[in-house]
Chains A and B, each alone.
Chain A
Amino acid sequence: MFAFILRRLAVAVPTILVLVVLSYILMFAAPGGPFNAERPLPPQVLANIEARYGLDQPYWKQIFNYIWKIVTEFDFGPSFKYRDRTVSQIIGQGFPVTFVYGFWSFVVAVVAGISLGVAAAVKHNSWLDYFAVGLSIGAQSLPNFVMAPILVIVFTLWLQWLPGGGWNGGQWQYVVLPVIALSTSYMASIARITRSSMLEVLNAGFIRTARAKGLPMSRIIWKHAMKPAMLPVLSYLGPAFVLMITGSVVVDVYFSTGGIGQFFVNAAFNRDYSVMMGVTILMGVLTIVFNLIVDLLYAWIDPKIRY
């Protein structure tokens, strides 16, 4: 088991390295640069700024310096766009925000999604099943950029229950709407996967045996069916968790949370190279870590899997 973890972590390092180099190359290949604007800077001023950020050096050297600084000083550099901040400060301020609303969205999506999916499978072809399927199709086909403004109009403008945006240090009133907006489509997917996987398991031979033995249905579901039914759900949850805690552009933009999610898009539009790289690395590391955790959970759920 430990050997497995060590092996996986050893592979992770070159994976991240390839990610960094590839992202860097793609970044340089994109036209424009961080200091282009409607009003172009005078050449001498532009040259001074590029020298300040090392952009006047050859590409290979820039990549090397970037990696070297991360390895030796854990320094991800200054933001090219937000001159008062470093990349670490931007991520340090934005990531906790998305982590909080992402984490709660995950909890909501998992609890509601699995309950809905299990209920639908157990009461197959009943009104409950149709309701669950209808709800999850509805939730999945309603994009969050449509849902977010609707939530604000209903809860802020009409009912005046909740603020229409902002974060304000993460007080609960500010967290509710982002969580609803982010969790619905994930909940729908989880419900769908749970339902079909549960249906399959309930038709399996060992469940028939358990029923023939006269075990109560609740015991069959919780003790025997749940674990195997969760395997496909689990492989969905790993990447979903990473996506959720790194936030969503739509949620950050519509609810003005100040989270890290919007930087995925904004940093690319602004050609804010260092922020773009920082966010990419964050995302890469989290993906690798959570894929590893999912693999370990697999072994715990399914005794046939051994590392």
Chain B
Amino acid sequence: MKLKNLLTATTAAGLVLAAGVAMAAGTHPETGEALADVQTFVYATIDESPSIDPGLVEDVEGSAVVRDLFEGLMNQDREGNPIPGVATSYDVSDDKLTYTFHLRPEAMWSDGTPVKASDFVFAWQRVANPETASPYAWYMELMSVAGAAEIIAGEATPDTLGVAATDDHTLVVTLTQPLPYFPEMVTHTTTFPVPQHVVEAKGAEWIQPENFVGNGAYVLTEHVQQERLVRAKSDTYWDKDNVYITEVTRLVINDENQALTRWQAGEVDKTETLPTGQYGALSAEYPTEAISVPELCTYYYNFNLRDGSPEWEHDVRVRQALSLAVDRDIIVNNVLGAGQIAAYTFTPGATAGFEVPEVPAATMTQEERNAKAQALMAEAGYGADNPLKLEILYNTSEAHKSIAIAVSQMWKQTLGVEATMGNMEWQTFLEARGNGSFEISRAGWCGDYNEASTFLDLMASGSGYNDSKFNNARVDELLASAKTMEDPSANYTEIEHIVSEEMPVIPIYHYAAAFMLNDAVKGWPLDNVQQTWYSRQLYKVAE
């Protein structure tokens, strides 16, 4: 590893000298750390991204690529707060329905043409346009941009979208309702601009490296499907003087163990994940490089509250008992062991502005929970002579299987429940869960943005993601009124309490992102719970 690094270091240093770039060596102007001569960053991801076109991108890792190649109106800082991107500032109208963004005149596409407000208009209309068939078209609707819903439904033409360029550097957005967190929403990659002149000239091929034009800190230089994606520092980016990493390579390594081995061999600086259960050993061996940070995601089990599902599902005492008997501490510490957090409520505590409500189950000891669970089960008429029988359904995966085994054992020991386990291949599982052919099904949900409604909206009776088919009029009412409140936290607390009493789902744990990160790489935004990172935040220090 040392020899290889040295070799690449000398070659690259030679190249840098030859090119006469004075950037590579030196010290970081803010921290004073000595910078490494070679500023390249290589990271591994499990899967190839479905798309890296801002209008079509749908996965987390693809969004990271898009944030390097393009820049939206606003960026996020290392804590996740919105800071100026292409827009230097914005004004809000008194009724909070009109946002006027002022774009920086020096922003440029990588072919040297200026970034215009009309590029944003083009990009937003393109996302909403049914012909584009964007999987994130609904994001325009979520942002409450005027006309988005009608355009997606095919009832209006894309040019009726509530976004307009009054001149080259002024973008005006009209909303249908006030949204306090609108500026945060435009840090999302779906709202990023695309170069109208290139997209119109090249069609679907515009995102290939040979045609690529972007406005981000990096330009796309190589993209081999399922193997690697390379991006190089852009020399047209307005803030290029503060960009340290000169080349970023994303490798696709499907196998977690293989990614870990290659990290150990020094081939990659960062892995996306760690194999289940290995975080403990790795953090003992590499205390500063094995990292675990909370994530805005919740792992839970659905009950099935549809008409016609087994009778016990409709008995709140049984649902309560099953939830109480799950020893979350064993699952997060012994089964997973990578810094996950036991969950008794639905929304993760890491969510901005959200205080985890003290539901009764959270403050009890496991013995107390088990005792209460046994009492509830007995009350519901289940016992040794009449055991409850049920099936846990999950999609095929080692981690889901381990959790299902642990939970079914806990239920058996505490409550005498005879749980069987069913696993299905992913697509078959989604279909079964979606149409309600299950008794208990696993689920995971990650927040789209850093606000509790992105979780609690799942409890709305009309939500397409409400797989348990929970239906509570008070919850619907609280969710609706929370949308336009300045401070909706009281509503969120009440919803969590109702959910914890009615127990339509069993929250099990909140995710943690665990990965390996080379010590030399600095600037990783560990405090950003959405894991929104930009390569231009990073730099490598001399070892």
Where the two chains meet, the residues of A that have a C-beta atom closer than 8 Å to any C-beta of B are: 30-33, 35-45, 48-49, 51-53, 78, 81-85, 89-90, 93-94, 97, 149, 152-153, 156-157, 160, 163-168, 252-254, 256-259, 262, 269-271
Q: Which residues of B contact A258 (CB under 8 A)?
A: 224-228, 252
A164 and B51 alpha carbons, distance in the complex (Å): 26
Please tell me if B383 contacts chain A, counting CB pairs below 8 Å. Answer: no
A93 and B224 alpha carbons, distance in the complex (Å): 7
Given the interface contacts A163-B267, A256-B252, does A42 sit within 8 Å of B464 by beta carbon?
A: yes
Which of these, B51, B227, B425, contacts A167 with CB under 8 Å? B227
Interface centre among B204, B255, B444 (most CB of A within 10 A): B255
A49 and B425 alpha carbons, distance in the complex (Å): 23
The closest CB in chain B to the CB of A86 belongs to B204
- Per the CB 8 Å criterion, the residue count for chain B at the interface is 53
Is the Cβ of B261 less than 8 Å from the Cβ of A152?
A: yes
Please tell me if B363 contacts chain A, counting CB pairs below 8 Å. Answer: no
Please tell me if B153 contacts chain A, counting CB pairs below 8 Å. Answer: yes
Given the interface contacts A33-B427, A38-B444, A43-B464, does A257 sit within 8 Å of B261 by beta carbon?
A: no
A253 and B228 alpha carbons, distance in the complex (Å): 13
Which of these, A30, A82, A164, A166, contacts B261 with CB under 8 Å? A164
Given the interface contacts A48-B152, A52-B133, A82-B48, does A257 sit within 8 Å of B427 by beta carbon?
A: no
Please tell me if B53 contacts chain A, counting CB pairs below 8 Å. Answer: yes
Which of these, A52, A262, A269, contacts B426 with CB under 8 Å? A269
Is the Cβ of B425 less than 8 Å from the Cβ of A165?
A: no
Which of these, A32, A53, A83, A90, contacts B427 with CB under 8 Å? A32
Please tell me if B135 contacts chain A, counting CB pairs below 8 Å. Answer: yes
Q: Which residues of A contact B137 (CB under 8 A)?
A: 45, 48
Q: Which residues of B contact A167 (CB under 8 A)?
A: 224, 227-228
The closest CB in chain B to the CB of A259 belongs to B226
A221 and B70 alpha carbons, distance in the complex (Å): 67
Which of these, B152, B227, B427, contacts A31 with CB under 8 Å? B427
Where the two chains meet, the residues of B that have a C-beta atom closer than 8 Å to any C-beta of A are: 1, 3-4, 48, 50-53, 56, 130-131, 133-135, 137-138, 141, 152-154, 204, 207-208, 224-228, 251-255, 257-258, 261-262, 264-265, 267, 425-428, 430-432, 434, 443-445, 464-465
Is the Cβ of B204 less than 8 Å from the Cβ of A32?
A: no
9 new A-B contacts, CB < 8 A, other than A48-B154, A84-B207, A164-B258, are A31-B432, A48-B130, A52-B130, A83-B56, A153-B261, A157-B265, A160-B3, A270-B427, A271-B427
A89 and B225 alpha carbons, distance in the complex (Å): 9
Given the interface contacts A51-B133, A256-B253, does A36 sit within 8 Å of B431 by beta carbon?
A: yes
Is the Cβ of A152 less than 8 Å from the Cβ of B258?
A: yes
Is the Cβ of B431 less than 8 Å from the Cβ of A166?
A: no
Given the interface contacts A84-B51, A165-B262, A258-B228, does A36 sit within 8 Å of B152 by beta carbon?
A: no
Which of these, A90, A157, A269, contacts B425 with CB under 8 Å? A269
Q: Which residues of A contact B4 (CB under 8 A)?
A: 160
A163 and B258 alpha carbons, distance in the complex (Å): 12
CB distance from B65 to the nearest CB of A (A): 11
Q: Which residues of A contact B134 (CB under 8 A)?
A: 45
The closest CB in chain B to the CB of A156 belongs to B265
Q: Which residues of A contact B251 (CB under 8 A)?
A: 165-166, 256
Is the Cβ of B53 less than 8 Å from the Cβ of A83?
A: yes
Is the Cβ of B135 less than 8 Å from the Cβ of A45?
A: yes
Is the Cβ of B225 less than 8 Å from the Cβ of A157?
A: no
A160 and B262 alpha carbons, distance in the complex (Å): 11
The closest CB in chain A to the CB of B48 belongs to A82
Given the interface contacts A84-B51, A253-B255, A258-B227, does A32 sit within 8 Å of B430 by beta carbon?
A: yes
Would you list 14 pairs from A and B whose C-beta atoms are within 8 A, ordered by A residue? A38-B430, A44-B152, A48-B133, A52-B130, A85-B225, A93-B224, A94-B226, A156-B262, A157-B265, A163-B267, A166-B228, A252-B226, A253-B254, A256-B226
Q: Which residues of A contact B425 (CB under 8 A)?
A: 269
Nearest 4 pairs of A and B residues by beta carbon: A32-B427, A258-B227, A52-B133, A83-B51
A167 and B224 alpha carbons, distance in the complex (Å): 10
A20 and B227 alpha carbons, distance in the complex (Å): 29
Q: Which residues of A contact B254 (CB under 8 A)?
A: 252-253, 256, 262
Is the Cβ of B138 less than 8 Å from the Cβ of A45?
A: yes
Is the Cβ of B267 less than 8 Å from the Cβ of A40?
A: no
A156 and B1 alpha carbons, distance in the complex (Å): 9
Is the Cβ of B428 less than 8 Å from the Cβ of A160?
A: no
Q: Which residues of A contact B434 (CB under 8 A)?
A: 36, 40
A44 and B134 alpha carbons, distance in the complex (Å): 11
Is the Cβ of B138 less than 8 Å from the Cβ of A164?
A: no
Given the interface contacts A32-B428, A32-B430, A81-B50, does A156 sit within 8 Å of B261 by beta carbon?
A: yes
Q: Which residues of B contact A44 (CB under 8 A)?
A: 152-153
The closest CB in chain A to the CB of B49 belongs to A82
CB distance from A181 to the nearest CB of B (A): 12
CB distance from B332 to the nearest CB of A (A): 21
A22 and B443 alpha carbons, distance in the complex (Å): 34
CB distance from A265 to the nearest CB of B (A): 10
Given the interface contacts A256-B252, A256-B258, does A82 sit within 8 Å of B135 by beta carbon?
A: no
CB distance from A305 to the nearest CB of B (A): 43
Is the Cβ of B265 less than 8 Å from the Cβ of A160?
A: yes
The closest CB in chain B to the CB of A38 belongs to B444
Is the Cβ of A41 less than 8 Å from the Cβ of B261?
A: no
Q: Which residues of A contact B426 (CB under 8 A)?
A: 32, 269
Interface centre among B56, B137, B432 (most CB of A within 10 A): B137
A122 and B208 alpha carbons, distance in the complex (Å): 57
CB distance from A34 to the nearest CB of B (A): 9
Interface centre among B130, B226, B254, B434 (most CB of A within 10 A): B226
Q: Which residues of B contact A51 (CB under 8 A)?
A: 130, 133
Is the Cβ of A82 less than 8 Å from the Cβ of B255?
A: no
Is the Cβ of B204 less than 8 Å from the Cβ of A84?
A: yes
Which of these, B48, B135, B257, B443, contacts A41 with CB under 8 Å? B135
Which of these, B1, B51, B135, B258, contacts A149 with CB under 8 Å? B258
Which of these, B133, B265, B428, contacts A49 with CB under 8 Å? B133
The closest CB in chain B to the CB of A79 belongs to B50
The closest CB in chain A to the CB of B444 belongs to A38
Q: Which residues of A contact B257 (CB under 8 A)?
A: 149
A53 and B133 alpha carbons, distance in the complex (Å): 9
Is the Cβ of A36 less than 8 Å from the Cβ of B258?
A: no
Q: Which residues of B contact A93 (CB under 8 A)?
A: 224-225
The closest CB in chain B to the CB of A90 belongs to B225
CB distance from B454 to the nearest CB of A (A): 11
A156 and B257 alpha carbons, distance in the complex (Å): 14
Which of these, B3, B50, B264, contacts A83 with CB under 8 Å? B50
A84 and B204 alpha carbons, distance in the complex (Å): 7
Q: Which residues of A contact B255 (CB under 8 A)?
A: 253-254
Is the Cβ of A35 less than 8 Å from the Cβ of B53?
A: no
Is the Cβ of B3 less than 8 Å from the Cβ of A36?
A: no
Q: Which residues of A contact B253 (CB under 8 A)?
A: 165, 256
Q: Which residues of A contact B1 (CB under 8 A)?
A: 160
Which of these, A39, A45, A259, contacts B152 with CB under 8 Å? A45
A163 and B131 alpha carbons, distance in the complex (Å): 44
